[in-house]
Amino acid sequence: MSNVPSHLSTLAAHGWDDDWAAAFAPHAAQGLVPGRVVRVDRGLCDVLTEDGVVRADTEFVVPRDPMKVICTGDWAAVDPAGDPRYVRAYLPRRTAFVRSTSSKRSEGQVLAANVDHAIVAVSLAAELDLGRIERFLALAWESGAEPLVVLTKADLVPDATGLSYLVEDVEKTAPGAQVLPLSSRTGEGVDVLRAIVAGGTSVLLGVSGAGKSTLANALMGADVMDVQETREVDGKGRHTTTTRNLLTLPGGGVLIDTPGLRGVGLWDAETGVGRVFAEIEELAADCRFHDCRHEAEPGCAVLDALERGELPERRLESYRKLQRENQYIIAKSDARVRAEMRRTWKQRGRIGKMMMEAKRGEHQGPR
């Protein structure tokens, strides 16, 4: 039986590994070739294969479930030849970024698949909005990707002590996530970030003005807008201009930059919210009542911590706000889609939480 080796150069540079190769084996046996989706557009997608980018029809992978629509970052099984070529299947996703659509049925939409690092960009040029950071972190954890908070424009903070206080504030807001101050002007932190993203697939999250484009350009070593526009020759020898949403970083790794990711909202991010507020969830385990809402119940460990000044009030309020928002989205969303998501992500969340707890135990010791 034929198999696709994991050392194929172009694909390896875009995240292909032994596990993907193993998952692809049945498709390889059917003579299909693997490729990573760099763009999806109106029933067609551009797939980066070992022989370059091919345009393929997605007719055979159109599901009813919007969560199963092929998206940028997916690993596709494509016909080896033909015009058009077809995507016959794609591999089960390791992670996925989902947003709730504005439609009445509130179904999710997958924006990016198989992302390893979710970089939350936060500008130090503006006042820190910790609640907003928590929201992006919830999304990041929920996707299954590893979050990283990058504090951009660090050169605008006048002194080192001031900067270390800001970093500390964000670190308390982001348990389990690395916080990295960075300046694309002075170059501070850029190498550290390059080294982190070199090992996989990354996305940039953050509000406009957070410095995402500057960050992307710093990672690319070029203007991302120019890089995204690629002139290609199609199967009939015609020159076409296309936009790629999956970019190869010169220092290793890939960056997914899709417009939709910028305005991403919460989608059933219960696991994600729990991870962002890990210390509250930890306290809640000691509440007298299993279903304690931490409002006025006797024996509430969360309110006790608040009373003792160990838990900032802002943090508890932010936790409640995100939970309410999440419950609202759950209530109006399609039950079937929701069940599907849970099956996929719940276990990952549990494993991640266990790993994080083990990690925290190592670093901090018993409390």
Are the C-beta atoms of 187 and 158 separated by less than 8 Å?
no
Kindly tell me which of 321 and 342 has the beta carbon lying closer to Zn ion: 321
Question: If we measure between CA atoms, which residue out of 135, 123, 133, 52 comes closest to residue 99?
Answer: 135
Pick the stretch among 35-43, 78-86, 103-111, 295-303 that binds Zn ion (CB under 5 A).
295-303
Shortest distance (Å) from residue 279 CB to Zn ion: 13
Kindly tell me which of 67 and 306 has the beta carbon lying closer to Zn ion: 306
Task: Give the orientation angle of helix 335-364 with respect to helix 130-143, to 10 degrees.
Answer: 110
Neighbour-count burial of 7, counting CB atoms closer than 10 A to its CB (0-12 exposed, 13-18 middle, 19+ buried): exposed
Q: Which of 302, 305, 311, 329 binds Zn ion (CB under 5 A)?
A: 302
- 305 lies in the binding site for Zn ion (CB under 5 A): no
Kindly tell me which of 19 and 286 has the beta carbon lying closer to Zn ion: 286
Q: Which of 130, 292, 330, 356 binds Zn ion (CB under 5 A)?
A: 292
Coil, helix or strand for 149?
A: strand
Shortest distance (Å) from residue 330 CB to Zn ion: 21
Pick the stretch among 2-10, 142-150, 193-201, 281-289 that binds Zn ion (CB under 5 A).
281-289
Shortest distance (Å) from residue 288 CB to Zn ion: 8
Kindly tell me which of 210 and 300 has the beta carbon lying closer to Zn ion: 300
Shortest distance (Å) from residue 141 CB to Zn ion: 22
Cα(260)–Cα(263) distance, rounded to whole angstroms? Answer: 6
Kindly tell me which of 70 and 300 has the beta carbon lying closer to Zn ion: 300
Shortest distance (Å) from residue 130 CB to Zn ion: 22
Burial 13-40 (b: 16+ CB within 10 A, else e): ebbbeeebbeebeebbeeebbbbbbbbb
What φ, ψ does residue 162 adopt, rounded to 5°? -60, -40
Residues 191-230 that bind Zn ion (CB under 5 A): none
- 316 lies in the binding site for Zn ion (CB under 5 A): no
What contacts 30, CB < 8 A, 6 or more positions away?
A: 77, 88
Count of beta carbons in the 10 Å neighbourhood of residue 103? 9
- 294 lies in the binding site for Zn ion (CB under 5 A): yes
Shortest distance (Å) from residue 282 CB to Zn ion: 12
Are the C-beta atoms of 72 and 40 separated by less than 8 Å?
yes
Q: Which of 70, 151, 269, 300 binds Zn ion (CB under 5 A)?
A: 300
Cα distances (angstroms) measured from residue 198 to each of 15, 132, 331:
10, 27, 39
Are the C-beta atoms of 200 and 181 separated by less than 8 Å?
no
Stretch (H or E) spanning 20:
helix 18-29
Tell me the site size for Zn ion, rule CB under 5 A. 5
Residues 20-49 that bind Zn ion (CB under 5 A): none
Shortest distance (Å) from residue 281 CB to Zn ion: 11
Shortest distance (Å) from residue 308 CB to Zn ion: 14
List beta partners, residue 239.
Answer: 233
Pick the stretch among 40-48, 74-82, 284-292, 314-322 that binds Zn ion (CB under 5 A).
284-292
Q: Which of 67, 287, 306, 329 binds Zn ion (CB under 5 A)?
A: 287
Cα(178)–Cα(113) distance, rounded to whole angstroms? Answer: 22
Shortest distance (Å) from residue 289 CB to Zn ion: 7
Shortest distance (Å) from residue 316 CB to Zn ion: 10
Residues 121-180 that bind Zn ion (CB under 5 A): none
Kindly tell me which of 185 and 293 has the beta carbon lying closer to Zn ion: 293
Kindly tell me which of 42 and 290 has the beta carbon lying closer to Zn ion: 290
N residues, the chain: 367
Residues 321-350 that bind Zn ion (CB under 5 A): none
User: Which tokens sit at 165?
Assistant: 């206080």
Kindly tell me which of 105 and 324 has the beta carbon lying closer to Zn ion: 324
- To which residue do tokens 């970024």 refer? 97
User: Which tokens sit at 295?
Assistant: 């409002």
Count of beta carbons in the 10 Å neighbourhood of residue 137? 28
Binding site for Zn ion (CB under 5 A): 287, 292, 294, 300, 302
